[in-house]
Amino acid sequence: MKRSLLILTVFLFAISCNKKESKTASKSVYAFFGKKITEENTISKEILLEKYKSLKKGDTLAVKVSSKINEICQNKGCWMTLDLGSGKTAFVKFKDYGFFVPMNAQKRNTIIEGKAFVEETSVAELKHYAEDEGKSPKEIAAITEPKTEYKFLAHGVLISK
């Protein structure tokens, strides 16, 4: 009887330890850049894409969104593109050029907080960003028209480690 009770106690202890470990493992760990922000009250990339569709040039929307990073400036990490789903992206700059993000953070999960807006980007600026991204001279020369883009000015960024 004592042996059965001992086995049951060890079994229950092992199960309770496993549950605690799985809760800890599911918690994301982030590095922060710019203003310190939290994970709370984020919206999904799909919701942000719908909000972008209703914005006109000159409109801004204060928002905190969770998504993945597509591309990052390879010169110093001064901009990134954010996946919005459905083949769409948002071009993200950082408030007052006050911080940068790691240049190797592509495809990582991120949470950004700031202002979303729609803006037309000039040919010169598009070519500059293409250079930052490491595009070939042929790809850069193919840029001949300005582009209306979804943009984001972030004051705080969390990137999964």
pLDDT digits (tens, 9 = 90+) for 103-133: 999 999 999 999 999 999 999 999 998 988 8
- pLDDT at 2 (0 to 100): 52
The candidate with the shortest Cα–Cα distance to 151, out of 114, 110, 118, is: 118
Asked if residue 144 has pLDDT above 50, the reply is yes
Prediction pTM value:
0.77
Q: What's the average model confidence in pLDDT over 44-53?
A: 96
Asked if residue 20 has pLDDT above 80, the reply is no
Asked if residue 25 has pLDDT above 60, the reply is no
Residue 89 sits at φ, ψ, to 5 deg, of -135, 165
pLDDT digits 0-9 by tens, 52-87: 999 998 899 999 999 999 999 999 999 999 999 999
Measured CA angle at 144 (ends 140, 150), to 5 deg: 85
* 33 contacts 95 by C-beta, under 8 angstroms: no
